[in-house]
Structure 1
Amino acid sequence: MQFLYNIAAILVVILIIPVFMVRSVREKGFVERIRQSLGFFPAHALDKVAKKHCIWVHAASVGEIVATSPLIKEFRREFPKTPIMVSVVTTSGYEMANRIIKDADAIIYFPLDLPFLAGSVLRRIHPRVFLPVETELWPNFLKTARQMHIPVMMVNGRISDRSVKQYKHLRSILSDMIGTVKKFAMQSQIDADYIMRLGAPPELVTVTGNTKFDQTYTDVSAEEKAKIIAEMGLTDNEGIFLAGSTHRGEEDLVLAAFTAVRHKHARAKLVIAPRELLRTQEVIHLCKKAGFTVTTRTKLQQQASQDEDIVILDTIGELGKVYSVGDVVYVGGSLIPHGGHNILEPAAHGKAIIVGHHMFNFKDTHALFKNRDACITVNDEKELIEETVRLFDDPDHRHRMEAETLAIVNENKGASRKSAVILRETLEEYESDPENRQLARSTQKIDNFQTYFIDLVHSKEVNGFCAHIIMAVLYVFSRIYVGLVNLKLAGYRIGLFKQRRLGCYVISLGNVTVGGTGKTPTAQRLAADIRNMGYRVVILNRGYRAKWHGEVGIVSDGQRLHMSAAEAGDEAFMLAKHLPNVPVLIGAERAVTGQYAIDHFGAEVAILDDGYQHWQLERDMDILLIDAVNVFGNGYILPRGTLREPVSHISRADVCLMTKVDQAAAGSCEYIRETVKRYNPAATVVESIHQPRCFVPLADWYVDIAGEGIDVSRMRGKKIMAVSAIGNPASFEQTLSDLGTVILESLRYPDHHDYTMQEMSDILHQAKNMGADAIVITEKDAVKVPAEVIQAGWDIPVYVICVEVTFQTGRDAFRHMLKDRLAERLGPRETKQNK
């Protein structure tokens, strides 16, 4: 059933593309709506909420936003330190939310419920809880929430007769959606009964009332009301008839009633607020056809004081306040079989309300007001005329209705407060359950689109129809990518593209796969060895994910650090802290940073960290790292796989360095040697291992990265939680297991992930619940941990495992080759004692 839903969803989007194109021209803000609905959010739009344990409230359009407004205020009161995000579907809802909801930290458009798209946005934000307002249930989105163990609570829940019938057709999808929701806070007992008919367990259903009774954004003072009347040219009136949210077919009925009113009240005025603003011109034509003068709210804003019979409200988000000026209010969508609209906005102003008999979408609210004579129900044009005239002619009757309306509103306030309290109780119950916390954390390795995508493209086998479609598309792009790579490389070989030459010995260090081969510790080892040979060596890093942007960035001058980890990027910062007397520079153009290193630091040797594909600069030696654990990825080129370029490009390397050979599967090293021999028989092949040096307490690591720390043998038998955000977390976990630690849980975050204080607090809480003796992270993670973690003084120690690369088989041949080539180019030096 889910498969059929996905196919239908994709087809619907394809079929309505022409409609989107038309609306993008006619409707202001529609292009931005589509961009965000496809997952492309403005810069910094999610900074305050993404991965920060936020409360996500989803309201479709204006009506739901009205209900959401008081909820957000109560959530802010109940959770003062928790970020809150609101999502909407329509442009009018987006404008309304930005106008009336001031306590939200972010307001966005909800993603289209397409396979992978909705889930990827949810993974990107990873909220603490998801709260759909009324009946906003989306299968793909909720499926991902279920997989990620994110609790879902329906707030201000409302189910109409029509929805009950429609949802039943979804069958298994409906069961999955209902099964995902942990609590149903419904507007009325009718809604509660309906949701239970759809399968909600009775013990999870509660009635809170309608939060629209609590809304205050429409509150209007006497001065504000007078201002609205003046701005709309309604000052000279004998009563105002206001028709809100009207649909096609209703304006004729309203105009007939207004005509009857004008027979006795010549200066009466009419305000019409069409439900669809695109119908404004159509409604103007109907008014003129009926013999009335007419203008619009927007025209009056440009040229005030026009005295017309009728004013068309053609603005978004104003109806709630404009209801205050009406003496008699008709709420539309009710004399046609649409189901009516919510009468609580005019009721909040204490108005005499008329509706049609089609109020099945708001049965409970309608019944409440009707049974207390606070709302008049009419069946046709004749009755609408009669009741409208009666309310104009009989002020006493109208005032009695107004008083009863206000009484009902005041008696039913408090739904928002109840919802906030229930949310608090629901979260406390859910989050106090160790199983729920463990399940939520155990899905960290797939709860973001980056890690999910990497897992997918890295797999040898692909399962699932949609996954096969994605891989097929990516394969096509990978073939294009291979062609471009080969074309660019050929351009350099034949001299079409020029390479720059530095006045020093240049060594590139890199790989042909994406991430996880151990470049950083290998660069550290190589730089230390060359430094100890007596040469002035520098490291040129591209500054991946660095906040610093410029031509040449000095991370370290060899004596002291000049940048923080955030400014330099974690890899460059780690290299700088590990390497005294070795300057570390960052910049996109290694020829520029290299020349700077020569001019200012007297560099004799430059190591291009991650420079195997940096063909703009000539190099004297290419060292290619090959991960013995994850050999050549899955054999496919980006974006289908994780190869940066074809395996045949091993031919460019002078040295092929196999890393982590001690963790390699049987036969892996032999396979690598055979592959290297096939494409590059002249290359020197070297093996290396990542040898744990010590465990350093996090606080000490910040002070002295080269400290001795705790001997690795002392961690044997300790129960630990392994936390990492690196390219190859399995290798890190294998190292810990080989040391004899007992890994209770392994939490994997995306490569280069920036940890938040909330995430670290969650990690500590989970570690305490599991009885862990320590939390262990990598050095790459240590630079991403907030400093507040150290200041907090945690009960459970956090250790940073420090590793060093040790060359094994082939090290002597490699060392002699390196020493001879440097001496030939730069002259022999007196080798210093290894430090």
Structure 2
Amino acid sequence: MQLLYNIAAIIVVLLIIPVFAVRAIRERGFVERIRQSLGFVPEEELAKVAKKNCIWVHAASVGEVVAASPLIKEFRKEFPKSPILVSVVTTSGYEMANRIIKDADSIIYFPLDLPLLAAHMVRMITPRVFMPVETELWPNFLRACRTMNIPVMMVNGRISDKSVKRYHHLHSLLDDMIGTVTKFAMQSPIDAEYIIRLGANPNLVVVTGNTKFDQTYTDVSTKEKQRLIDEMGIQNNDGIFLAGSTHRGEEEPVLQAFKEVRKEKPNAKLVIAPRELLRVREVIAICHSAGFKTARRTELLEHPSEGHDIVILDTIGELGQVYSVGDVIYVGGSLIAHGGHNILEPAAHGKAIIVGFNMFNFKETHALFTKRSAVITVQNSAELTQEVVRLFSDDEERHRMESETLAICSENKGAARRSAILLHEMLEQVEERRLASGYIKSTNKVENFQTYFYHLIHSRKSHGLLVQMFIAVLYIFSLIYGGLVNLKLAGYKFGVFSRKKLGCYVISLGNITVGGTGKTPTAQLLAREIRNLGYRVVILNRGYRAKWRGEVGVVSDGKTLHMTAAEAGDEAYMLAKHLPDVPVLIGPERYQTGTYAIEHFGAEVAILDDGYQHWQLDRDMDIVLIDAVNVFGNGYMLPRGTLREPISHIDRADICLLTKVDQASETSRQYIHTVIEEENEHALVVESVHRPRGFIELADWHANIASEGIDVNQMKGKRVMAVSAIGNPASFEQTLANLGAVVVESLRFPDHHDYTEQEMLDAANLAVQMDAEAVVITEKDAVKVPILTRDTIVGKLGHMVPIYVVSVEVTFRDDADRILGCIHKDLKEKLGK
């Protein structure tokens, strides 16, 4: 099939040479396009990216360039040292990319997909990763990437109905293309379903959302909007009707609607933006035949004038901003069998939008806006006229639609950031990225093996036979482990093993996966809230990785810290630091630590931190935490995966708490809710977010309980380096980015890593080299970091960069009254208070 494709490609190129010759004469910039498409890329453009480990983003035309724009901004933040190359196919795409993409190091034309040419370009540039935007799959180019082991990640992936049918005819060629892609970041569940139907491994497919919701190049201030209106000579108007991306056969219905509007609003104006600039003369003739006076946008820029009825937009890449001047928008390509165009550009300006019934190329977006009555779909010319007239007459309905479109756009932002994090995880998975960078190397061989092992069990790439055999052995052990877990739990359920009961109310807080769900800050929140209700509350922690050995250890009596971080373990120490008036105890048997807490602190409520699997102690309430970002780990039980128990075991939970939902996609949240509904009908389902509370200098953080630090807003716009050794470092880095900090680099150590002073000094020194204004670590890291004062840093390095600890708190998302009310009601019934 590859041979047939190559023969066909060469024949097509030979046949269209005459067409190229004509276009070279008629179209400005077409000669340069052909030169570069044949591999003659300007040396100055190549020098910036070739052999420099660049990120290659391929966006075919204007639409893909718009989608790529926010992606490239996020890639620049995530990979500040990697050059970014953008390639396009069309002249309009090239002009658009140069106008709106400021973070790219180089912008070139994509090579023709001829066998030797594609391989030559891939070898010449040798990118770190190739990222086609939407559905830009080229067989020879992808084959070259596969040969050179260059990972491919599809971003903002979109597959139309037509594409599914068309691609199926490629047979083995399709299998090769799909098989080359390492990760599919798709716009919607429908697109994900389509790419899986075409043969993609479901484990490689992720729904990240549509990056066009994140675009900002169309942002227009009030002053800029007025400038556009003035330049187009339509200042004195009763309203502006705008028809964008119209095709042949659509201008007549638009003009008919405009005629009817003018009966009520004689000074109304119309702006038409033909999809193809070659049709401008044709569109002008149609407008004149309908009795209207027209003016071209380019002419008005040179010779301003007024008195025309219609402005013909004959510029490239300007429509996104010009949408801002319209009061009612018709998006073309939808009253004919083209499949419509993207409605997100006018939606970003909060416009009342009308489309035709042919929107099959944008099914998901159209369905989203239709469900919220934020777009009107018409079947024919008569309905278009009716709805345009109605919207110009009904201000209340028009304003409702405007508000709804803005709300939808706001709610669906974040796809670009999620894609950047996905890319980060794909390329620089924890230890590979840190060790490959050469900045800071861990000498702990155990940790390095743990990191390698973590990547091995999470990797979805093909491995050699020995590795596959090893993973198969792990899988067998996971089946054995899962069987033992089920057997042990059944023993407790049926009374084979006895449970002990404390003389106080017991809340178990835990998860069914290993690490990274946010148990510690959630335990802090619950302890504070229960204490504020008037109950004496204690926290019982197992003391993971604590150096202290014994039956009962008092980390804090609520007033004073009695242990160091090394003695207590990082989780228990963090809890103690943030909870005045709440004793924190550690010990392997929670019954013993709980009994001690009742006898010495009068405990009425005991919170078992990480206690969901501590079945030997009876509890009054079970709360299970589910990370909405890293949903159920990799789906396998230990040691093949990260599940402590089968997913079905959430049926024991009284409350299911989804954490970090602000960083998760809507699809992930819906999937978790669906799983909970299937496995646990009685549980209260609550969502929470992690919010930074303040930034505290490292030395101050170690000084006392409940340090406050500086306000989080003071980090906005500052260049920072993130250093972490936690279960989900990407979540921490996204938190900093969401605050407005510019993350110039991130160093990721294995979970629970014990830092040395030299490692932190190396990190501070690197931060200075990268012009960072601060190093930021998590509280979980802070307990493992030696105390470094300003004098220590300056004395060792000769310069100063502050090391801040970001203090994070959990807040319930619109559900605080539900979960706290549930706990309070149960406490009153069982404790009689």
**What is residue 264 of structure 1 aligned with on the other side?**
264
**What is residue 160 of structure 2 aligned with on the other side?**
160
Confirm whether residue 187 of structure 1 aligns to residue 187 of structure 2. yes
CA distance in 1, matches of 2:10, 2:274: 32
**What is residue 213 of structure 1 aligned with on the other side?**
213
SS class of match (1:233)? coil
**What is residue 147 of structure 1 aligned with on the other side?**
147
CA contact (8 A) 1:242 1:326 kept: yes
Report the CA distance between 1:428 and its aligned residue.
Answer: 2.1
Q: One-letter code of the match for 2:22? A: V
Rg: which structure is higher?
Answer: 1
**Larger CA deviation: 10-19 vs 219-228:** 10-19
Confirm whether residue 177 of structure 1 aligns to residue 174 of structure 2. no
Report the CA distance between 1:307 and its aligned residue.
Answer: 2.1
**What is residue 817 of structure 1 aligned with on the other side?**
none
SS class of match (1:229)? helix
SS class of match (1:92)? helix
- Aligned-pair identity (%): 72
**What is residue 508 of structure 2 aligned with on the other side?**
none
SS class of match (1:169)? helix
Report the CA distance between 1:429 and its aligned residue.
Answer: 4.0
Alignment of 1:603-614 (within 5 A): none
SS class of match (2:245)? strand
CA distance in 1, matches of 2:79, 2:374: 37
**What is residue 278 of structure 1 aligned with on the other side?**
278
Report the CA distance between 1:72 and its aligned residue.
Answer: 0.4
**What is residue 799 of structure 2 aligned with on the other side?**
none
Alignment of 1:745-784 (within 5 A): none
**What is residue 723 of structure 1 aligned with on the other side?**
none
**What is residue 399 of structure 2 aligned with on the other side?**
399
**What is residue 22 of structure 2 aligned with on the other side?**
22
Q: One-letter code of the match for 2:413? A: K
CA distance in 1, matches of 2:76, 2:294: 44
CA distance in 1, matches of 2:429, 2:248: 48
Alignment of 1:275-424 (within 5 A): 275-424=275-424
CA deviation profile, 1:471-527 (whole Å, cap 9, x unmatched): xxxxxxxxxxxxxxxxxxxxxxxxxxxxxxxxxxxxxxxxxxxxxxxxxxxxxxxxx
Q: One-letter code of the match for 1:13? A: V
SS class of match (1:175)? helix
CA deviation profile, 1:449-491 (whole Å, cap 9, x unmatched): xxxxxxxxxxxxxxxxxxxxxxxxxxxxxxxxxxxxxxxxxxx
Report the CA distance between 1:43 and its aligned residue.
Answer: 2.7
CA distance in 2, matches of 1:117, 1:333: 35
Q: One-letter code of the match for 1:323? A: Y
- For structure 2, the 5+ residue unaligned runs are 434-451, 464-768, 770-833
CA distance in 2, matches of 1:281, 1:355: 24
Alignment of 1:567-586 (within 5 A): none
Alignment of 1:95-110 (within 5 A): 95-110=95-110
CA distance in 1, matches of 2:118, 2:247: 32
CA contact (8 A) 1:355 1:378 kept: yes
SS class of match (1:424)? helix
Q: One-letter code of the match for 2:243? A: A
TM-score normalised to structure 2 length = 0.52
CA contact (8 A) 1:61 1:90 kept: yes
CA deviation profile, 1:405-451 (whole Å, cap 9, x unmatched): 00000000000000000000011249678999x999xxxxxxxxxxx
Q: One-letter code of the match for 2:333? A: G
CA distance in 2, matches of 1:419, 1:289: 49
TM-score normalised to structure 1 length = 0.52
CA distance in 1, matches of 2:429, 2:199: 22
**What is residue 111 of structure 2 aligned with on the other side?**
111
SS class of match (1:45)? helix
Q: One-letter code of the match for 1:153? A: M
Report the CA distance between 1:19 and its aligned residue.
Answer: 1.1
**What is residue 200 of structure 1 aligned with on the other side?**
200
CA distance in 2, matches of 1:158, 1:337: 19
Report the CA distance between 1:306 and its aligned residue.
Answer: 2.5
Q: One-letter code of the match for 2:427? A: L
CA contact (8 A) 1:230 1:305 kept: no
**What is residue 233 of structure 2 aligned with on the other side?**
233
Q: One-letter code of the match for 1:43? A: E
CA contact (8 A) 1:114 1:140 kept: yes
**What is residue 427 of structure 2 aligned with on the other side?**
427
Confirm whether residue 35 of structure 1 aligns to residue 28 of structure 2. no
Alignment of 1:363-762 (within 5 A): 363-429=363-429
**What is residue 797 of structure 1 aligned with on the other side?**
none
Confirm whether residue 123 of structure 1 aligns to residue 123 of structure 2. yes
CA distance in 1, matches of 2:161, 2:259: 35
CA distance in 2, matches of 1:136, 1:320: 23
Q: How many residues align?
A: 440
SS class of match (1:146)? helix
**What is residue 85 of structure 2 aligned with on the other side?**
85
**What is residue 588 of structure 1 aligned with on the other side?**
none
Report the CA distance between 1:260 and its aligned residue.
Answer: 1.0
Report the CA distance between 1:44 and its aligned residue.
Answer: 1.2
Report the CA distance between 1:253 and its aligned residue.
Answer: 1.0
CA distance in 1, matches of 2:123, 2:47: 14
CA distance in 1, matches of 2:5, 2:253: 40
SS class of match (2:45)? coil
Report the CA distance between 1:305 and its aligned residue.
Answer: 2.5
CA contact (8 A) 1:133 1:156 kept: yes
CA contact (8 A) 1:257 1:384 kept: yes
**CA 439–120 in structure 1, closer or farther in 2 if over 3 Å, else same:** farther
Q: One-letter code of the match for 2:192? A: A
SS class of match (2:86)? strand
CA distance in 2, matches of 1:165, 1:360: 13
CA distance in 1, matches of 2:18, 2:322: 35
CA distance in 1, matches of 2:234, 2:330: 18
CA distance in 1, matches of 2:134, 2:275: 19
CA deviation profile, 1:235-288 (whole Å, cap 9, x unmatched): 011100000000111111111111111111100000000000010000000000
CA contact (8 A) 1:152 1:182 kept: yes
CA distance in 2, matches of 1:39, 1:331: 37
- For structure 1, the 5+ residue unaligned runs are 441-787, 789-835
* RMSD (Å), alpha carbons: 1.8
Report the CA distance between 1:42 and its aligned residue.
Answer: 1.6
Q: One-letter code of the match for 1:364? A: E
CA distance in 2, matches of 1:8, 1:251: 37
Q: One-letter code of the match for 1:51? A: K
Report the CA distance between 1:229 and its aligned residue.
Answer: 0.2
Report the CA distance between 1:115 and its aligned residue.
Answer: 1.2
CA contact (8 A) 1:149 1:439 kept: no
CA distance in 2, matches of 1:12, 1:284: 34
SS class of match (1:329)? strand
Q: One-letter code of the match for 2:276? A: E
SS class of match (2:46)? coil
CA distance in 2, matches of 1:386, 1:18: 46
Q: One-letter code of the match for 2:249? A: G
Report the CA distance between 1:22 and its aligned residue.
Answer: 1.0
